[in-house]
Structure 1
Amino acid sequence: MAAGRVSMRGATDSNLEFADYSLYSSLSDDELMQLAIERSIADAQNSGPGTENSKTPVVLNRPAGPRGAPPSHRPQQQTEPAACPANPPRETINPQDVISVSHFVTGYGKRMVAYRKYDGSMQVAPEPEEETEPIVKAISEGDVGSVRLLVKQPGCNLLKPNKDGWIPLHEATYYGQDQCIKIILRAQPGIINQCTLKGQTALMIAVTREHLACVESLLEKGADPDIANKERETPLYRACEKENPAMVAMLLNYGASVNKSCIQGWTALHESVCRNNVEICEMLMKAGAKVSIPNMYGITPIFVAAQSGKVDALRMLLKNGADLNSQAADGATALYEACKNGHENIVEFLLSQNADANKPGKTGLLPIHIAAQRGNDSKDLLTFGCTRKNVRATNIISMLIPATSKARVRRTGISPLHLAAERNRNDILEALIEAGFDVNAMLSEDRSMMYEDRRSTALYFSVMNNNIDATTMLLKAGANPNLDSFNPLLVALRQGCIQTVTLLVEHGANVNAYIPTHPTTFPASVMFCMKYLTLLKFLMDNGCDAMSCFNCIYGSNPHPPIKTRRNPRYDSDEVVEKTCVQFCEVISTENYSRWAGPIIDVLLDYVGHVKLCARLTEHLDSYHEWQCIKEKATPPRPLMQLCRLKIRKLLGIKRLKKIHRLPVPPRLIKFLNHQEREQDF
């Protein structure tokens, strides 16, 4: 540290106005910090009432002797006048004035303490460091000779703990000083099993620090290898955690209990299996470790091996009699957990050992259900990692299919097809379809009630996810699009996906689908596509009932005002009467009223003689541009329109779709399909 001169204003002697900073050049940073704290306290004590402007000098002890020596061993030197109090002086902390104290560590590792006083002010100061005992210092420096001398001194207390409950024996173990351990135990053999505030013995510290020589010294002196810390972890457990075979062997040779469990119920064998350390596992087995001890969640070591993908440890456990089909507290088996975590090699090995693939967990799901949920969305298969995960999941499904009973799957009330469709696992869905799983399997009532829309089929999940590939696979495999209470076609119409709607209609979806819980006088499919005129026309071309939209019970009479229907789900106290909603009521809502004219225009192309009700007439009268639509509805309808409707009715929708195969003029085909306005090419 370079010497310099620092201005010390306020000294009583003008000759001391500049103090030589070189006096403190031999001190360390910590010693300078301690010196500053002592000086601040002295300044505050001397700055009482009436002394704020006094010139009383502060007396400092100039430290001498070796650098870093304990304060008690520094020789005292001649005192000399020093500088005046700091500006401003620091005040002492009176415990009665403090309301709260908090400790923290700065970014530079300095321990600080903050005092908040009753007046709301806060003062921050370095945390007073605990004075290091001479024997502790000698131990940390490895000075065996000094330790031997200090132990013999009457004032040396080997039982005195620090603030963490550490005694010199713990310090010697921490620093790996086995010679110091022997010296201390020779002087005080009864402290060998004394614990710190965290319940750690010297043996536990030695194992944690992997000081093998210290472990041996402590065991030879009679250290108890079964004393656990506050987490109930024994030294043997910690040695398995450190994966140190030599230390494990030494502890076992001195009689360490092999089956003691920690606070979570894990034994040393659990920990070794989790780390796939077969060498340590075999040592524990020979020492009497039990392979079927469960932890607090009912998880046995074989379950741990399957869960973490440790095939070597799994083989060793089965070789030593572990139960292959043991179940955890939640009913999961080793095979179940291996499928859940995507460990393909574990699944293959377990199935080769005849693991039961038909044991469900408490949720009722089988391993094949869990495997069906794995993989990745088809849209995410651009990355190599995602592709590998997907392939692993498909391989696991392929291995489980022959080992799984389809009758057992049916009893679960849910098919793996449902889970694969819900999670967009297209490759798994394809594998299950090829394996012959029923594409029309329906959720059990209790599982269906878990969904607000009471969905039942795998097709519904695919349509809800707007997964066109999955929808195509299911429909081609024979999925019935009309099994759900809420028809999948209505979902596709609400999403406005023309491709999904086309697929469903081509495979027999009911274009006149209704909603049982919300009765209407016209098909609900019309209501869901009012904003999509292309979809509305497509439905009409495929046989949707347009006439029901014009059947109004009020006719030309005045209509009552539309009542605002509240949701009984949120208004349970109010009884809502279920009445059939009419087309004119729906089209009069704010969402559809501006589309009323074009919607009515499309519908008129698929009906004969109709009479518009008063509300529909009111809508058409609201815009001048819609007068032509009103005239179009005025009876009588053109004869060509009536003929077209009659021919379409006689042919039927199915034959009408194949009319292009018949020797019929193209213009007639276009006319029957309402395409007469399109240009002929």
Structure 2
Amino acid sequence: MLWSDVTKQRLTTWLPAVTDPAAVDFLQDMDFTECYGHSVSSVAAAARSGCRKRVRRLIKRGFSVDCRDNRGWNALHEAAAAGSTECVQDILAAAGGKKAGSSRGCSAYVNSLTHEGESACYLAAQRGHLEVVQLLLEAHSNINQLTNDLSCPLYAAVDGGHKEVVELLVGKGAEVNRTHTASCWTCLHQAVYKGHSEIVRILADVCNLEAVDDHKISSLFVAAQYGRQECLEILVNAGADVSTQAADLATPLLIASQEGHQVCVDFLLDHGADPNIACSHEWPQLPIHAAAEFGHISVLRRLIAVTDRACDRGDGMVSPLYVAIHSHQSKSVEMLLREGFSPDAQDCTHILGIRSPLSFALSRTSSKPYSESVVLLVAAGASLSEEDWVYALATDETDLLQLILKHRWIPRPETLTRGCSVPHQDGQTVLKLLEVRELLCVALNQVHFAACWLPLLLKAGLEPTLLLQPHMLEQADSGVLNYLLEFVNWSILSPPLKHILDRRRAEETWEPCPHFDSVPCLSHMCRLRVRLVLGPDLLMRTDVVQQLPVPSLLHNFLRFGDIPEASYTHSPPSPLSNRLQRCRSTHKHRHVL
């Protein structure tokens, strides 16, 4: 047991026997732990409780007002923090008296600091004790005294939202533009951050509106970032720059768009904020990119109307489609496409290492066969490159190929042009010559998966003779080869192709259908002629067969529906990334058109 505890125990035993009232008061006021660093002094304890009578009694009996605890707090700190104006008055009077009326001594006392560098004025301002702050300032408290963490009475009052204290300190000449905290914020930054609009209104009249922190962020930027609408309006009306840029070139409009603060975005645009200022050192990022990346659809809609469309297809620019795809914001992708942004955008290989939005969307597909962004881009008519076809054909999964064929029309060879994709009569987009060439080139390099993609392509209207290439006949599985030959007149193949078939038959790597040894029957010759006249696209993809003057039982036959498909029986394919890499390293471009 501590000595003080033993003493207290003894006192409680004989204290009732003491009859002198003065002695009773003295004993009750005594603090037997006064010598221990972890406890406050008697005067400080009384000041903390705001008991003026006890403070006066202790001072009168000679107790010290400057005895400190382990935080460096004395009685004045406790009284100021408690907001006890009367205790502060008595403690200041006692401190002045001890210095023989010296105003210099009282000034030193009133400016004494805790171990955290906090003055009594700081503690009172922090807690909003207006009268105490007034009293301490009259006692010559340093109004701009900094704490260890670079705060000050005004910054503390601003942080706490104590408007009257702020008004008092500003009126008394407090430094309003000094930087505080490790981030170098001013009082105006903090007032905006906390959303104390009335304090912002006070400070906006006396502060430097363009003061910035260590990242060159202004108070207006902070208002936009945290959606402080009223503070934003006060600052703009006071003349703050709406297009100020931080160290990384971000603007208030960019950050408001990123955070989805619709009201702030509207206000900034209505007051002159430029939506076409580049906001990044790395590439020309605009506010529209931020809205698209974070899926803020209402903000994105507003920015689409005011952003220069050069960002969509312009050289050296980056379409917002890219960032929407990167962050899996399919709603942003949908809106951009609906508002006329190109599904092909610009080639950003030199900026981001990305060739096209579709290639990027396909590369970011993980667990699902294809993402919603892929669906939207294909439906919007995005051009298909060689690598895009690899994603569709170098796999035993046919989801992506089916999606492409749902929205893209394979024209007959004689109608292919080098021009841009054009809508077909049913809303589908017709493949361009280059796209068909790339399709065939990838298909002939992915014969391993032909059992998966061949039926889909032929039923989508691809002319089968385009696949009658030496590589196809040499590499295709027996079932795949038989399926392809059923779509042509096998009796009139060119001599080189017949030679390949004969060799494979001799090597027993191909087991032909029995009827391949004879001339095709008349019915097969007839349907080949019908396909030639109508075109494979119309025959396979429309109801034109139903309009022919032939029995309905022949409809399926004329569309080659009687031919059984070959089955895919190979081992599971390697990961798509490995197949893409292998395709790039072993790919051979085959001229088939």
What TM-score comes out, normalization by structure 2 length? 0.71
The answer to whether the 8 A contact 1:550-1:613 is kept is no
Q: Once the two structures are aligned, what percentage of the paired residues are identical?
A: 25
Contact 2:253–2:268 under 8 Å retained in 1: yes
Q: Which moved more, 1:319-328 or 1:134-143?
A: 134-143
Alignment of 1:272-311 (within 5 A): 272-286=191-205, 288-311=206-229
Is structure 2 residue 27 aligned with structure 1 residue 144?
no
Letter in 1 for 2:71: D
Q: Is the 8 A contact 1:227 1:234 kept in 2?
A: yes
Q: Does 1:334 align with 2:252?
A: yes
Q: Match of 1:496?
A: 398
Q: How does 1:148-163 map to 2 (within 5 A)?
A: 148-152=56-60, 156-163=63-70
Deviations 1:476-505 (A, max 9, x none): 65x243246433762796653164133254
Which structure is richer in relative contact order (CA contacts within 8 A, separation 6 or more)? 2
- 8 Å Cα contact 1:457/1:483 also seen in 2: no
**Aligned-pair Cα RMSD in Å:** 4.0
Structure 1 counterpart of 2:320: 416
Q: CA deviation at 1:142?
A: 3.1
Q: Hey, what does 1:18 align to over in structure 2?
A: none
The amino acid of 2:406's aligned partner reads L
Aligned in 2, Cα 1:292/1:132: closer, same or farther, shift over 3 Å? closer
- Residues 1:37 and 1:489: Cα distance change in structure 2 (over 3 Å): same
1:226 aligns with 2:226: no
Give the Cα–Cα distance (whole angstroms) in 2 for the partners of residues 191 and 70 of structure 1: 24
1:670 aligns with 2:590: no
Aligned to 2:13: 64
Question: What residue is the counterpart of 2:417 in the other structure?
Answer: none
Match of 2:501 in 1: 611
Partner of 1:371: 291
- Report the equivalent of 1:386: none
Displacement, 1:327?
Answer: 0.8
Q: Structure 1 residue 419: deviation in Å?
A: 3.4
Q: Aligned AA for 2:58? A: L
Q: Which amino acid aligns with 1:277?
A: H
Equivalent runs, 1:558-573 vs 2, <5 Å: none
User: Equivalents in 2 of 1:637, 1:206: separation in Å?
Assistant: 107
The Cα shift of 1:223 comes to: 0.9
Report if aligned partners of 2:79, 2:87 keep a CA contact under 8 Å in 1.
yes
Q: 1:675 to 1:221 in 2, by over 3 A?
A: same
Match of 1:396 in 2: 299
Contact 1:490 1:528 in 2 (8 A): no
Contact kept, 8 Å, 1:174 with 1:206, in 2: the verdict is yes
- 1:265 corresponds in structure 2 to 184
CA separation of 1:613 and 1:269: change in aligned 2, threshold 3 A: farther
Per-residue deviation, 1:318: 1.7
Task: Give, in whole Å, the separation in 2 of the partners of 1:448 and 1:72.
Answer: 72
Are 1:486 and 2:367 counterparts?
no
1:103-133: CA deviations, max 9, x gaps?
xxxxxxxxxxxxxxxxxxxxxxxxx982442
Matched, 1:456 2:356: yes
Structure 1 residue 443 and structure 2 residue 347: aligned?
Answer: yes
Deviates more, 1:342-351 or 1:467-476: 467-476
Q: Where does residue 29 of structure 1 map in the other structure?
A: none
Measure, in 1, the Cα distance between the counterparts of 2:532 and 2:175. Answer: 88
The 3 A distance-change label for structure 1 pair 537 and 546 is: same
SS in 2 for 1:248: helix
**Residue type of the alignment partner of 2:361:** F
What's the offset of the Cα at 1:634? 9.2
1:653 maps to which of 523, 536, 558: 536
Determine the C-alpha separation between the residues in 1 that align with 2:4 and 2:93. 42
2:93 to 181, 186, 210: 186
Displacement after TM superposition at 1:222 (Å): 1.0
Structure 2 letter corresponding to 1:169: L
Q: Is the 8 A contact 1:460 1:488 kept in 2?
A: no
Aligned residue number for residue 92 of structure 1? none
Q: CA deviation at 1:613?
A: 6.6
Q: Deviation of residue 326 (structure 1)?
A: 0.9
- Where 2:208 maps in the other structure, the secondary structure is coil
- The answer to whether the Cα contact below 8 Å between 1:226 and 1:234 also exists between their aligned partners in 2 is yes
**Residues 344, 356 of structure 2: 8 Å contact kept:** no
Residues 320-350 of structure 1 show CA distances to partners (whole Å, capped at 9, x for unaligned) of: 1111211111111111112111111122222
Structure 1 position 359, deviation (Å): 0.4
**Residues 244-303 of structure 1 deviation map (CA, whole Å, 9 limit, x = unaligned):** 1111111112221111111212111112223333321222233x2111101111111111
**What does 1:462-473 correspond to in 2, within 5 Å?**
none
Partner of 1:82: none
Q: Which residue identity is paired with 1:523?
A: L
Secondary structure of the 1:186 match is helix
The aligned runs of 1:514-553 (5 Å cut-off) are 523-524=444-445, 526-527=447-448, 530=451, 533=452, 535-541=453-459, 542-543=461-462, 546-548=467-469
1:432 to 336, 339, 344: 336
Amino acid of the structure 2 residue aligned with 1:273: V
1:246–1:72 Cα change, 3 Å: closer
Do the aligned partners of 2:211 and 2:219 also contact (CA within 8 Å) in 1?
Answer: yes
SS at match of 2:221: helix
| Offset of residue 601 of structure 1 | 5.2
For 1:645 and 1:66, the matched residues in 2 are separated by 122
Residue ranges of structure 2 left out of the alignment (5+ in a row): 17-26, 96-105, 410-428, 491-497, 565-593
Mapped partners of 1:134, 1:308: distance in 2: 46
For residue 431 of structure 1, report the CA deviation from its aligned partner.
4.0
Residue pairs, 1:189-268, within 5 angstroms:
189=106, 190-263=108-181, 264-268=183-187
Distance 1:262 1:467 in 2: 51
Asked whether the equivalents of residues 240 and 248 of structure 1 are also in contact (C-alpha less than 8 Å), the reply is yes
Q: 1:612 to 1:441 in 2, by over 3 A?
A: farther
Provide the rounded CA distance (Å) in 1 between the counterparts of 2:502 and 2:112.
Answer: 97
